[in-house]
Amino acid sequence: MFLTKKHISRRATLKGLGVSLALPLLDAMIPAGTALAKTAANPKARVGFFYIPHGMIMDNTPYGKEVDAWTPSGEGATFTLNKIMAPLEKYKQQLLSFAHLINAASEGSVHTLQPATWLSAVRPGGGPGANMAITLDQAIAREIGQETALPSLEVAAETTIQSAAGGGFYSTTLSFRDEHTPLPMEYNPRKVFLQLFGEGDTEAERQLITHETTSLLDLISDRTAALRAELGPADRHVMDAYLDTVREIERRIEKAQGGNLASIKLPDAPVGELDKFDEQVALMYDLLALAYQANLTRVASYITVAEGTQRNYPFLNVPDSFHPLSHHANLRDRLDKLVKVQTWHTQQFANFIDKMATTPDGEGSLLDHSIFMYGSNMGNSDRHDNYPIPVILVGGGSGQLKGGRHIVPPERTSIANLHLTVLNKLGIEATKFGDSTGVITGV
C-alpha cells in the first residue's frame, strides 16, 4: 500500500496583504497512516471547575429520601439521576457521581472558607494575607496552561463580595496560584470578552487594534535590544526583566492569533454586567465555551453564584433570596423552592455541556476530550454541613474517564482523593494533593 497523503502543519495559516487567517483542523494536517493521538493534531484536554454555593438538597435532611433531589439511586452503572441532576440525563454515560465525599478543610467555617478550599482541600493558616495552598485548577494550569494565550481563566456570575460570606479572598475565589496568591474572579462579561479576544467592540476594531499593538511591540523590541548592548550589568538586568514582559505580551498575542478563531463567529463585545441574572449566568457559560473552542485557554473556574448571595430568582417564581432560602429549617415549601433553584443551575451547566458535546474536536467532541467538575463545598446548607458534599465529573477525558456510574467510596473520603485522581487522569503524575490518602478507584 502506498501512502501519499501530504502533511500540513497544524499551525499553518493563509497569509496575504499583511493579514493571516488561522485554519481549522483539517485531515491534511494528520500524516497518512498516523493515529491522531500521535500527531500535533492530537486534541488537548480542557478542564473546568463550576462551583455553586449552599450545597444541595441531599438525603441528609429529616425528610431523607422523600425530598432528596440530588443523590442518584443505585450505584455503579445501574443508577438513576435524581431531580437536580436530571438536566444531565442526555450525558449520563459521560457522568460520574460520587457519594461519601468530605472536605475537612472547610468544616466549621460556615461560608468563610467554602470556595477557596473546594479546590485546595487545605485549611488556610493564620497571619496576615493569604496563606493556603495551590488549588487544583492552578496545579493543572502549571502543566498545560502555557500552551494557550491564557494559562487559566477565572470568572463569576456576580460580584463575589457578599457580606454574608465574610472571609475576604477565601470566600470570593476558587483559585490560588500558590499559597499566597489568590486570583480574582471576573464577573464583568465585557472584561472577560476583551481579555479573550482583544480590545474593540467589533471584529473590525479588534483587528485594527491588534495590528497596531503588534507593530508597536515589534518596534519596542528592536529598540530595547539595541539599547541593551550599551548598558551596564545592573541596567541590563532591569532591561531583561522589561524585555521578558514584552515577550510575554507578544506570546499571548501570538497564541490568541493562532487560536482557531477562523471558524468561530464572535459576537460584539458585551456592554457590561447584565441586569438579568439568568442572562448573565448564560453569557458567562457562552464565553467559556468560546474560550475552549478557540483554544484560548484550557483551564477555567466559574463561581456560578456568589457565596452568601442575596440573589433571588423571579424568573423561576422564587422571590426568596438564595442564601436565606438555603437555611430552609426543613420546611417543605422552602426545600421545594431550593430544589427549583439548584435544578435551574444544573440546567445552565447542562446547556454548556451541550455546547461542548456538539463542538467537533479531532476524532470526537470537546466534551470527549474534557473533564468538567460541578458541585459545592457544602452538603446540608441549613446546618452548614460539609459531609457529604455533592460533586460530579462530566466528560470523556480523552478516554481516561469511565462514565455512566455513581461511585460509592468509603465513608468520609476526602475530596482531595478526587483531585488527585483528576490530576492522574490528565497525565500529571502526583502522589499527594491536599489531604489526599490515595486515588478513587473505578474512575
Tens digits of residue pLDDT in 294-315: 888 999 999 999 998 889 999 9
| Residues 6+ away with beta carbon under 8 Å from 126 | none
* Distance, CA of 93 to CA of 86 (rounded, Å): 13
Amino acid at 114: Q
**Which DSSP letter does residue 118 get?**
H
Q: Taking the C-alpha atoms of 241, 246, 252 and 258 in order, what is their torsion angle to the nearest 10 degrees?
A: -130
Predicted pLDDT at 195:
83
Q: Are 26 and 45 in contact (CB under 8 A)?
A: no
Of 353, 186, 305, 424, nearest in space to 433 by CA:
424
**pLDDT: which is higher, 1 or 297:** 297
Spatial separation of the C-alpha atoms in residues 107 and 123, rounded to whole Å: 9
Per-residue confidence band for 24, with pLDDT thresholds at 50, 70 and 90: very low
Q: Specify whether the CB–CB gap between 105 and 118 falls below 8 A.
A: no
Pairing of strands 413-414, 95-98: unpaired
pLDDT band at 44 (very low <50, low <70, confident <90, very high): confident
Stretch among 20-24, 29-33, 216-220 having the lowest mean pLDDT: 20-24
* 347 exposure class (CB count in 10 Å sphere: 0-12, 13-18, 19+): middle
d(C-alpha 168, C-alpha 182), whole Å = 10
Could you give the percent of the chain with pLDDT greater than 70? 71
What DSSP designation does 363 have? S
The per-residue pLDDT for 244 is 62
50-76: average pLDDT: 79
- Residue 334 near residue 191 (C-beta atoms within 8 A): no
Nearest-Å Rg of the Cα atoms of the chain is 23
Give CA–CA dist 313/363, Å, rounded: 40
pLDDT attached to residue 153: 97
Tell me the percentage of the chain whose pLDDT exceeds 90: 48
Across 38-50, average pLDDT: 76
Helix (H, G, I), strand (E, B) or coil at 249: helix
SS3 label, residue 148? coil
| Long-range contact pairs involving 57-64 (C-beta distance under 8 Å, separation at least 24) | 57/84, 57/335, 57/338, 57/339, 57/342, 58/379, 58/380, 58/388, 58/390, 60/379, 60/380, 60/385, 60/388, 61/328, 61/330, 61/335, 61/380, 61/382, 62/330, 63/330, 63/332, 63/335
The rounded distance, in Å, linking the Cα atoms of 154 and 186 is: 6
pLDDT for residue 363 is more than 80: yes
Please report, as a single letter, which amino acid is at residue 198: G
pLDDT mean across residues, the chain: 80
Most confident stretch, 6-10, 221-225, 259-263, 370-374:
370-374
Q: Highest mean pLDDT: which of 24-33, 190-199, 270-279, 431-440?
A: 431-440
Judged by average pLDDT, the poorest of 47-56, 227-236, 239-248 is: 239-248
Among 170-174, 217-221, 346-350, top mean pLDDT goes to 346-350
Residue 75, CA distances (Å) to 95, 143, 431 in order: 13, 34, 27
Please list, in sequence order, all residues whose beta carbon lies within 8 angstroms of the beta carbon of residue 212, skipping any fewer than 6 positions away: none
Query: What separation in angstroms does the CA of 407 have from each of 87, 99, 272?
Result: 19, 6, 41
Strands 181-182 and 78-80: unpaired
- pLDDT of 267 reads 61
CA distance linking residue 141 with residue 148, whole number of Å: 10
Q: Where are the alpha helices (DSSP H) in 259-331?
A: 277-293, 322-326
State pTM to two decimals.
0.80
Can you give the pLDDT at residue 18?
Answer: 41
Alpha-carbon gap, residue 216 to 157, rounded angstroms: 35
**Beta-strand runs (E) in 88-228:** 95-98, 101-102, 153-156, 176-178, 181-182
Candidate ranges 57-66, 114-123, 239-248; pick with highest mean pLDDT: 114-123
- Buried b / exposed e along 58-93 (16+ C-beta atoms within 10 A): bbbbeeeeebbbbbbeeeeeebebbbbbbbbeebbe
